[in-house]
Amino acid sequence: MDDDFDLPDEGGNTSGATGASFIDQLFGDSKKSAPRASTFDDILASVPKQRKPTVTFQDPPISSPTPPAAPPATSTPATVSPPSQPSTKMESRSSGGPSSSLLDSLFPTSSLGSSGGGDFGGAEGSLRRRPASASGGPRMAVPSRDRQPSQAQMPPPSAAPAIQTPEPVPARSNPATDALLAEKDREIEQLRRELSSLRYEKSEDQKTILELRRKLEFTLEDHQRILNHLHEEQRAEMKEMSRRHEQELDDARREAGKSTEILNDIRKHESSIDNIESKMDTLNQTLTFLKDSMQTMAGREEDVDKIVKMAEQQASEGVQRLEMEKKNWESKKNDSLLKMEEEMEKMRKTYAEEIVQGRKWLEEERRRLHIERVAFQEEQAAILDLIEQKKEELDSHKNEFLNREHDLLIRVVNEKALFEQQRKDFERQRNADVNRLREEAEHLEKCLTQVENARRAFERARKEYDQKNEQLNDMKNMLMEYEQAYRRDRKTS
């Protein structure tokens, strides 16, 4: 009658036990232990009172699980086994355990929340935690059926100590994970700030390059306009000088034509003078012939002398007239030649002066254009050097920016990969913890179901015990009556 009430363990050794097994244990072999005088109230005193079960599962940290805080003591009475034997702390439930839908809603397999665990309604109050097994889940210590503590080892109901039930502990966040996430967020924010600063510097460099390019284009356009204007002025002046030169050449040609005409006239006059001289020669010859003929005819008539004198006088007058005409013509010729030479000399001097002035102007313009070209080339070379320097600086800044960006991208990728790995490890650990907690909850649900079945079997056994106890009392009364009757019969006999 003083046997402990066995509960099925998680290994399934007594999972198929029914109420009849408990009845067999209660009213089975009487050779296991000696019967003792006990009442049903003593047995009921060892059963804990029914209360609402509260089981809290919190997400332990990844690094090392922290032991739960010591729960406050309650006044719930329960049966405590002696130190030498494992005790069974159990709690009855008034209703059935949570269904599988409640478990699925509390521990979904597909969702990955930020918190690692939550509160789950179960029976833990007086149930002792099982020692950690190799799989990580707690195991529940269940006493063997063969162990039957004696009456001396069973404490009285009044001496039952208070059972400490753990209070629900609110879910706490993992400080290591939060610190790691905060550090990663700070590093990512710093990398973003560095990337934004590098982008800003790159945009400023691009703006500076565009401004320098615009200035260079404006300077090149100004120099090109100046060069075009100078070329146009030079072409206009060259055209004007060519026109003036052509005009002077035309004037020189006209003067040369006039001089050739004068020379032709002079040649004509000279040819006419030559003709006159030839005629004068023939006339002189004729006169000499006449003189000779007249000398031969000296004695001839005086009329002939007069004719000869008149002819000589006419010839001398003609010769004088011809001499005067020749002198006039020579004087005119000399005057015209002098005028022509003066005009030619004047034209030559004017042309030489104009050529000298044109050459001087050309030399000055050439010198000025050369100076401007040298200055433009120097300025262009300086601008090109500045552009090359800026380009080299831009290339160096670009390479540095690309290197820094590459390093930052590598760091970001590495940090992201590390963060993803840590997140996956954290999720894997969390999923493992969730699965473990779910398995524990299911196991507790099974245990609570088995406890409920055991309670119901115990109720049935109690009723049968009451009936048999009544029958036993009746039998005792009958035996006592029989004994009294037997004694009375012996006394009377």
pLDDT, tens only, 385-420: 888 888 888 888 888 888 888 888 888 888 888 888
Cα–Cα distance, 212 to 452 (Å, whole number): 89
Phi, psi (deg, nearest 5) at residue 337: -65, -40
Beta-carbon contacts of 468 under 8 Å, excluding residues fewer than 6 positions away, are 27
Q: From CA 160, how far away is CA 43, in angstroms rounded?
A: 13
pLDDT of residue 355: 81
pLDDT score at 453: 92
Closest CA to 403 of 200, 411, 205: 411
The residues that bridge with 138 in the sheet, in sequence order, are 132
Question: Is 117 exposed, middle or buried (CB count within 10 Å of its CB: 0-12, 13-18, 19+)?
Answer: buried
Both structure tokens of 405: 């960006």
Domain edges within the chain: 19-173, 190-417
Distances in whole angstroms, Cα of residue 42 to Cα of each of 46, 90, 409: 7, 17, 76
What local confidence, expressed as pLDDT, does residue 305 receive?
66
How far apart (Å, rounded) are the C-alpha atoms in residues 386 and 390? 6
Quote the DSSP letter at residue 86. Answer: -
246: Cα separation from own chain's centroid: 73
Tell me which residues of the chain have a pLDDT lower than 70. Answer: 1-173, 294, 296-305, 308
Q: Which amino acid is at 261?
A: E
Instruction: Round to whole Å and give the CA distance between 376 and 220.
Output: 9
* The pLDDT value given to residue 304: 61
Show the beta-strand stretches assigned E in 271-332.
Answer: none
pLDDT, tens digit (0-9, with 9 covering 90-100), for 112-143: 444 444 443 443 343 344 444 434 444 444 44
How many residues are there in the chain? 493
Cα 257 to Cα 253, 266, 330, 437, distances in angstroms: 6, 14, 21, 131
CB 4 within 8 A of CB 147: yes
Its pTM surpasses 0.75: no
Looking at residue 151, the DSSP 8-state letter turns out to be T
Q: What is the pLDDT of residue 116?
A: 43
Nearest to 441 by CA among 142, 171, 122, 128: 122
Mean pLDDT value across the chain: 69
**Nearby residues of 473 by Cβ (< 8 Å), 6 or more positions away:** none
pLDDT for 385 equals 87
Strands, E, within 83-137: which ranges? 119-120
Pairwise CA distance, residues 144 & 249, whole Å: 145
Q: What's the farthest any 2 CA atoms get from each other in the chain?
A: 269
Listed in sequence order, the residues at least 6 apart from 304 whose beta carbon sits closer than 8 Å to its beta carbon are 294, 297
Residue 157 DSSP label: G
Q: At what angle do helices 19-27 and 302-492 cross, to 10 degrees?
A: 40
> What's 158's DSSP letter?
G
For residue 383, what is the enclosing H or E element? helix 302-492
